[in-house]
Amino acid sequence: MKEILDIFGIDTRLLLVQVFNFGILVLALWYFLYRPLIALLARRQLLIEEGVKDAYAAKEEREKTITEREDIITDATHEASIIIDRAKERAQEKEALLLQEAQARSERMLADARMQSEEEKKRARETNKKEIATMAILGAEKILREKI
């Protein structure tokens, strides 16, 4: 074996020192570069996994929020229609009440007008009776004066 190494011009001591140096270099690179790099990659992988989990959680939360929003909108629409129906009913009741009040007022006004009309008729009759009586007396006086 020594002959083969001599043929190729390889010095065994130098080869052993280079193997030793290479081992130290590998250990130093493993300790200072490979381990921190692996730790960094592991942390990044954890961060990425957490990011993916957070993204899924955010997606689920968004879907839940959308569902809740649609439920709220549906409930609000339903409540609004109920309120509108109640308002329409109240308006119809109020309209009916106002119509009844207007009818009662108009009937009272009509009754008052009839009473006033009757009173006017009575006054007119009394006035007419007095005038007729006065005219009759005047007419009789005139006739009597002419005859006398």
| Binned average pLDDT, 10 residues per bin, the chain of 148 residues | 79 89 96 94 96 96 96 96 96 96 95 94 90 88 83
| Whole-number Cα distances in Å, 100 to 44, 86, 107, 110 | 81, 21, 10, 15
CA distances from 105 to 110, 115, 116, 126 (A): 8, 15, 16, 31
- Our CA dihedral for 21, 26, 32, 37, rounded to 10 degrees, sits at 160
Flag whether the pTM goes above 0.85: no
Domains of the chain by residue range: 2-147
pLDDT at 66: 96
The pLDDT score that the predictor gives to residue 11 is 81
> What's the rounded Cα separation, in Å, for the pair 47 and 38?
14
